Amino acid sequence: MSMPFTNRIGPPGEESGLTIIEVIVAALVLALGAMATFGVLASATKNTQRAKATQVALDRAQQEIETMRSLSNKALALTTAPEHSTSPLNPNYRVSGNEFATVRTPEGGKGVMVGNGGSLYGGGFVSGGTVTPGPVSFSSGDVSGKVYRYVVWRDDTNCPAATCPGLQDYKQIVVAVKLDTPGNQSGERGYVELTSDFIDPTDSALNDPIPGASGVVTAQQLFLSDTPCAAGGTTERQPITGDHLLHNTLGTCASGLQTGSEKVGAPDALLRGSPPDPDPVDASNPSLYDYSNDVYLEPTPNTDKGVQIRPDDSSGCNSKPTGKTSPESQIHRWVTDPMSATLSEGFKITSNVTLEFYSQTLNGANHTATLCVFLFKRHETGSPPVATDTWLTNKSTGLGYWTFAPGGTGFWWKNEWHRERFTMAVSGAPYTIPAGDRLGVALSFDRATTPADAVQIMYDHPIYPTRIEVETNTPLDGG
């Protein structure tokens, strides 16, 4: 007599175990759970990538805004007119003839663009504009995209018609960044944008705290350059064509360009004009160069750029380096040209000075660091001139310097040129730099909290325009 067949898994003669159907159901449940888990992980990964890309786009837009704001009023104009796009996901969709809609959704706030060329800009044209509208391609790691730039005339409703006639009282800067769509995604991506007003104090009352008074300057930008300061007159920025030895900046401007420790040299110059961009369409031009390729400053592997500043031999912030070997590498100084004799009351620092700088560790090293920042007034007498430096005082500490270290872990940034802004309150403000004297800034690193051979700082590059912003009511000529 035959035995009945059962679909159970187990030793013969036992009734316990799982049927094939139960195994299939269990496997299906596990598969569905795994699919859900992997789906969540994939979605989380995609969201993280999207958030990272958006932050890169915003950082790039902010960088472009600041670069354009550093231009002179004359230079802040488009070289050509941007072309209209039929795609609502393209910022040029808001371009209509010579106008651009500054309000994105719903589209509005149209204004005439500021640019070179006559009737094309409906009377809103200027000469000398240097802003390329784009789109200009860029990449940062695995994120790439395009930058769009616009400059639009705006009406200053706070300025009486008698003082500010017409509708072209100040300029509004708009920067849009549209990211490329990654290969693993479909569909066209949108864009992010940032805006900023640019006010020429001679033309507008937006910065005027006293009704009816003339425009008032509220800040003066001074860029850290790689050009030694001129002994007299106006310093002309020199083009950077390659790597070079570290400038010894421990002397006066009359010392001229010097390298090495044998003879002190001229400080580098603080210039009013931002670093020029010879090719706005090509982000790799100009190249990044090493401003201190001395043998003792060359790391292994040799990937350093900008200037490398060694921590001082003594702990703390020292305005004069204490090292006996290559002290010129332990502090770097920049000074302005002498304040013009036309400034009868001198150049007044009304409140704060903000340092915006770009830095990273050498070769991606992981360590802490503390930056020391000195602001000083330089008075020169005699021939050859002897400099007397008066150090401005930190309002918070009463000391002649300010210190900066990253928040959180305190570790310095690595593997990228990180931009940081650091505001310094000056004691006794308003502080005056008399006509004929110079304003200076010096940077060093505290030995006690900087366990590294050196830290690199980038400047005098159109993408990395390290600068100080001085709150002042004194206009300086130039741009």
Taking the C-alpha atoms of residue 333 and residue 347, their distance in angstroms, rounded to an integer, is 20
**Of 154 and 402, more confident:** 402
Per-residue pLDDT, 205: 39
* Residue labelled with tokens 């299906």: 28
Q: Where in the chain is the domain with CATH 2.60.120?
A: 219-472
- Residue 308 has a pLDDT of 97
User: What pLDDT is stored for residue 38 in this prediction?
Assistant: 64
Question: In sequence order, what E strands does 312-426 have?
Answer: 332-335, 347-361, 371-381, 386-391, 402-404, 418-425
Q: How far is it, in rounded angstroms, from Cα 205 to Cα 198?
A: 12
pLDDT (average), residues 172-199: 81
Q: Which CATH number fits domain 219-472: 1.10.860, 2.60.120, 3.30.70, 1.10.8?
A: 2.60.120
User: Which tens digits make up the pLDDT trace of 291-349?
Assistant: 999 999 999 888 999 999 999 999 999 999 999 999 999 999 999 999 988 888 899 99
What whole-number distance in Å separates Cα of residue 180 and Cα of residue 178? Answer: 7
In order, the DSSP letters of 283-336 are TTSSPP-BS---GGG--SS----BEEEPPPSSSS--SS---SSSGGGS-EEEEP
Question: From CA 37, how far away is CA 377, in angstroms rounded?
Answer: 63
pTM exceeds 0.75, yes or no: no
Question: Do the beta carbons of residue 195 and residue 102 sit within 8 Å?
Answer: yes
Res 211: pLDDT: 35
| Burial of 186 from C-beta contacts in 10 A (0-12 / 13-18 / 19+) | exposed
Amino acid at site 479 = G
- Helix or strand run (H / E) with residue 42: helix 20-69
**Predicted confidence (pLDDT) at residue 212 exceeds the cutoff of 60:** no
- Model confidence pLDDT, tens digit, residues 410-456: 899 999 999 899 999 999 999 999 999 999 999 999 999 999 999 99
For residue 374, pLDDT over 70 is answered with yes
**pLDDT (0 to 100) of residue 244:** 97
Give the pair of three-digit tokens for residue 6.
Answer: 């059962």
Q: How confident is the model at residue 40 (pLDDT cuts 50, 70, 90)?
A: low
250-288 pLDDT, tens per residue? 999 999 999 999 999 999 999 988 888 887 777 788 999
d(CA 163, CA 214): 9
- Mean pLDDT, range 362-384, rounded to an integer: 96
